[in-house]
Amino acid sequence: MTTALPARATLPGRFVVLGVAGGIAAYKAVEVCRQLVESGAHVAPVLTDAAQRFVGPLTFSALASEPARVDLFDAPEPIPHTTLGRRADLVVVAPATATLLAKYAAGIGDDLLSATLLATRAPVLLAPAMHTEMWEHPAVRANVDELTERGVHFVGPTAGALAGRDEGPGRLADPDLIVDAAGRVLAEGHDLAGVRVLVTAGGTREPIDPVRFVGNRSSGKMGHAVADAAARRGAQVTLVTTTARPAAPAVARVAVETAEEMADAVLDRFADSDVVVMAAAVADFRPKVAATDKLKKHDGVPELVLEATPDILAALGQRRRDQILVGFAAETNELHEHAAAKLAAKHLDFVVANDVSEPDAGFEVDTNRAVLLDSDGSIEELPLLPKTVLAGLVLDRIRDRLTERRPQERDQ
Ligand code: CTP
């Protein structure tokens, strides 16, 4: 949690779209609606066709802050999905069925709820509910992973009694938990408001010829996780990335390929940034000469002569004014020593160090086991965490440092 306030204290006055998809747990969404209203939120319910087979719109209209909407074409306003999407501070879907997850992951907006999910820039909280076999199906898992990566929040499901006397994971989280999670997501949404964050992601590719390059195994997952999480927390985020991975809609994406291009993109934007997080795996060496035409086999094995690339972070460390600089250290041995040396040599605030020879940490995987080194001398060893969670912890540190440096501004 990023606030000392109870999560629900962040709900009063906030516009919450409550989506209800078609599952037996739809009846519990009535209680979610009631509790959201009781906590002070302005609640606009949206029901899918299937949801209405389980519970009627009238029930929601009676409890919510405005009448339930059920139709993309027959709502009080002409373009209800964009109206709702723009007004929303938060979209909660309870229950979120397998179909709803699939549509949202695939970008299908063929009814009011799925179209609202695509049209909004507000944070989204999904409370899935379905039978265990469905929840565990690889297609559903893939959709959940995809949505998590895009920054969608999840609460539940929990394990317990399911419809048809089944038992197992897939039960809708309790309404209390859903409403608490809604408050937490809203609390999270603001602690980096207005902060200009520049993030780099992915491994650079240094051309040998037009088809070959010298590269590394970085997938860009860590940098993208930081960028998406920062945008969700209200930061103005620019992501300089070498990957084709999608970023959250609010993130300004700059595509680069080489260390040189990344250096130009970052240095150009440095003066207008408050925070730089260099999560990219920048190649340290590149071919001295890149052939303009494809090297042919019959010309023999080429001899690659390498030269050093610019060290972007070291250059930022030299030029920094009051920016916060965060580096990553990918090591295979003597993690603490090497990471501490980078912290000092590049004049950084934090280094997120990890042993990339560990199977669950580092390149290509979704998890990381990191050590956070702070320029104040403190060292925090973190457990194995999803990269999305690690991103949140790094941003917590950044927020705390910003608050220490600019208490008068951040208190406003
Ligand atoms: N970095 C950079 N420019 C480079 C190389 C690295 O900005 N040319 C940044 C990385 O983005 C990372 C930090 O510096 O945030 C440390 O990168 P890492 O590869 O771990 O270390 P190096 O400084 O390159 O040193 P070495 O490869 O010798 O460990």
Q: Is the pLDDT of residue 361 over 80?
A: no
Nearest CA to ligand 1 atom 8: 311
Query: Is the shortest distance between the CB of 330 and ligand 1 below 6 Å?
Result: yes
Helices H / strands E in the chain, number of each: 15, 19
How many domains would you assign to the chain?
2
Q: Is the pLDDT of residue 409 over 70?
A: no
Per-residue pLDDT averaged across 44-55, rounded?
Answer: 96
Q: What is the pLDDT of residues 218-253, one digit of tens each?
A: 999 999 999 988 987 889 999 999 999 888 777 899
Per-residue confidence (pLDDT) for residue 386, from 0 to 100: 75
Contact 372, 380 (CB under 8 A): yes
Examine the domain organization and report whether 109 and 224 are in the same domain. Answer: no
Q: Is the pLDDT of residue 75 over 80?
A: no
Examine the domain organization and report whether 201 and 182 are in the same domain. Answer: no
Examine the domain organization and report whether 201 and 299 are in the same domain. Answer: yes
Token digits of residue 156: 């539940």
Question: Residue 58 belongs to what domain range?
Answer: 15-188
Examine the domain organization and report whether 224 and 154 are in the same domain. Answer: no
Per-residue pLDDT averaged across 352-379, rounded?
Answer: 87
Task: Estimate to the nearest angstrom the gap between the alpha carbon of 224 and the chain centroid.
Answer: 7
Task: Estimate to the nearest angstrom the gap between the alpha carbon of 247 and the chain centroid.
Answer: 8
Per-residue confidence (pLDDT) for residue 407, from 0 to 100: 54
Half-sphere exposure of 379 (CA within 13 A, CB side): 11
Report the C-alpha gap between 245 and 203 in whole angstroms: 12
Inside any domain, residue 263: yes
Nearest 5°: CA angle at 195, between 193 and 197? 125
Q: What is the pLDDT of residues 14-45, one digit of tens each?
A: 899 999 999 999 999 999 999 999 999 999 99
Report the C-alpha gap between 403 and 170 in whole angstroms: 40
Out of 216, 333, 354, 368, pick the active-site residue: 216
Examine the domain organization and report whether 159 and 228 are in the same domain. Answer: no
Map tokens 């507000």 to a residue.
122
Report the C-alpha gap between 398 and 400 in whole angstroms: 5
Per-residue pLDDT averaged across 120-143, rounded?
Answer: 94
Q: Which residues pair with 240 in a beta bridge?
A: 200, 254
Mark which of 138, 158, 188 sits at the end of a domain: 188
Report the C-alpha gap between 51 and 58 in whole angstroms: 12
Examine the domain organization and report whether 87 and 160 are in the same domain. Answer: yes
How many CB atoms are closer than 10 A to CB 320? 16
Token digits of residue 184: 């937490």
Mean pLDDT of the chain: 90
Q: Is the pLDDT of residue 411 over 60?
A: no
Examine the domain organization and report whether 147 and 255 are in the same domain. Answer: no
Nearest 5°: CA angle at 73, between 72 and 74? 105
Decide the pairing of beta strands 367-374 and 379-386.
antiparallel
Per-residue pLDDT averaged across 68-91, rounded?
Answer: 84
Confidence of residue 189 (pLDDT cuts 50, 70, 90): low
Confidence of residue 174 (pLDDT cuts 50, 70, 90): very high
SS3 call for 336: helix
Inside any domain, residue 201: yes
Inside any domain, residue 126: yes
Inside any domain, residue 254: yes
Examine the domain organization and report whether 181 and 212 are in the same domain. Answer: no
Half-sphere exposure of 199 (CA within 13 A, CB side): 31
How many CB atoms are closer than 10 A to CB 382? 16
119 or 189, which is more confident? 119
**Residue 216 annotated to the active site:** yes
Examine the domain organization and report whether 143 and 90 are in the same domain. Answer: yes
278 or 121, which is more confident? 278
Q: Is the pLDDT of residue 340 over 90?
A: yes
Examine the domain organization and report whether 180 and 241 are in the same domain. Answer: no
Report the C-alpha gap between 358 and 367 in whole angstroms: 11
SS3 call for 245: coil
CA 32 to centroid of ligand 1, rounded, Å: 48
How many CB atoms are closer than 10 A to CB 257? 15
CA 55 to centroid of ligand 1, rounded, Å: 56
Inside any domain, residue 7: no
Query: Is the shortest distance between the CB of 373 and ligand 1 below 6 Å?
Result: no
Q: Is the pLDDT of residue 202 over 60?
A: yes
Q: Compute the 3-state secondary structure of the chain and give helix, strand, coil in percent, each to the nearest 5.
A: 40, 25, 40
Map tokens 């390059």 to a residue.
213
Mark which of 188, 213, 234 sits at the end of a domain: 188
Inside any domain, residue 6: no
Between the alpha carbon of residue 123 and those of residues 150, 187, 250, the distances in Å are 11, 11, 11
Contact 84, 120 (CB under 8 A): yes
Contact 219, 243 (CB under 8 A): yes
Per-residue pLDDT averaged across 276-283, rounded?
Answer: 97
Nearest CA to ligand 1 atom 9: 313
Per-residue confidence (pLDDT) for residue 229, from 0 to 100: 87
Per-residue pLDDT averaged across 375-388, rounded?
Answer: 89
CA 208 to centroid of ligand 1, rounded, Å: 21
Examine the domain organization and report whether 103 and 222 are in the same domain. Answer: no
Which CATH number covers residue 242?
A: 3.40.50.10300
The least confident of 100-104, 144-148, 354-358 is 354-358
Per-residue confidence (pLDDT) for residue 6, from 0 to 100: 63
Q: Which of 241, 262, 284, 319 to mutate to test the pocket of ligand 1 (most atoms within 8 A of CB)?
A: 284
Which CATH number covers residue 48?
A: 3.40.50.1950
Inside any domain, residue 10: no
Examine the domain organization and report whether 184 and 204 are in the same domain. Answer: no
Inside any domain, residue 331: yes
Ligand 1 atom at minimal distance to the Cα of residue 313:
7
Mark which of 188, 216, 250 sits at the end of a domain: 188
Q: Is the pLDDT of residue 300 over 80?
A: yes
Give the type of residue at 130.
Answer: M
Report the C-alpha gap between 396 and 324 in whole angstroms: 13
Burial 124-141 (b: 16+ CB within 10 A, else e): bbbbbbbbbebbeeeebe
Per-residue pLDDT averaged across 366-385, rounded?
Answer: 91
Contact 375, 320 (CB under 8 A): no
Query: Is the shortest distance between the CB of 273 and ligand 1 below 6 Å?
Result: no
Per-residue confidence (pLDDT) for residue 316, from 0 to 100: 98
